[in-house]
Amino acid sequence: MFGLIPFENKEMDSIFNDGFFDGFKFPQVHQDMKCDVEDTEKSYIVTAEVAGFDKNDIKVSTKDDVLTIAVEHKEDTKDDKKYLCHERSYSKVSRSFRLPNMNKQDIKANLKDGILTITVNKDEKQEDKYIAIE
C-alpha cells in the first residue's frame, strides 16, 4: 500500500498487509440502476434495468412530484454451503425522478425479463392563472 511513498515504513506496511483485514466481509452494494425516462404528450414512461431482482424486492412509490424506484435483495444466509467467493448476499439501489403533473392514481408497473416499465399518466396540465386583485 505504501510502496509509492518515497520513504520506507515497514511498520505501516505490516499493519495493512498482514492479512488482518482479509477476514472482514463488507456488503456488496450494487450502485447502478440504468434508467430511461421518456416524456410523451400524455404520460411519462420510466424504464429501469433490474435484472436479478424479484418483483417482491422492488418498491415503487410517489411523494409530491417525485417517483422513486427502490430495489433491495437480501439472500438467505441460513445455508450450509461452503463458498470460495460469495458476493451476491446483499444489494440495494434506488433512483428518484421528478415528474411534474403526474397522476398518482394512474400508474402502472410491469416487470419482464429484468426490465421494469412504469407508465405514469399525466394530469391535465394546469395553466398558469393570474388572480385579479379587487
CATH number of the CATH domain containing 40: 2.60.40.790
Give the H/E segment covering residue 17. Answer: helix 10-17
Would you say residue 3 lies in a domain?
Answer: no
Q: Report DSSP letters for 91-132, one per residue.
A: EEEEEEEE-TTEEEEEEEEEEETTEEEEEEEEPPPPPP--PP
Would you say residue 104 lies in a domain?
Answer: yes
Domains: count for the chain: 1
Would you say residue 12 lies in a domain?
Answer: no
Would you say residue 111 lies in a domain?
Answer: yes
The answer to whether 50 touches 58, Cβ cutoff 8 Å, is yes
Report the predicted TM-score, pTM, of the whole model to 2 decimal places: 0.66
Cα–Cα distance measured from residue 89 to residue 77, given in angstroms and rounded to the nearest whole number:
8
Domain ranges, residue 80: 28-122
Confidence of residue 44 (pLDDT cuts 50, 70, 90): very high
Cα angle for residues 31, 35, 37 (degrees, 5° grid): 145
Model confidence over 3-25: pLDDT tens digits?
Answer: 555 555 555 555 555 555 555 55
Predicted pLDDT of residue 17: 56
Would you say residue 51 lies in a domain?
Answer: yes
Mean pLDDT for the stretch of residues 92-110: 92
Predicted pLDDT of residue 75: 72
Would you say residue 134 lies in a domain?
Answer: no
Would you say residue 45 lies in a domain?
Answer: yes
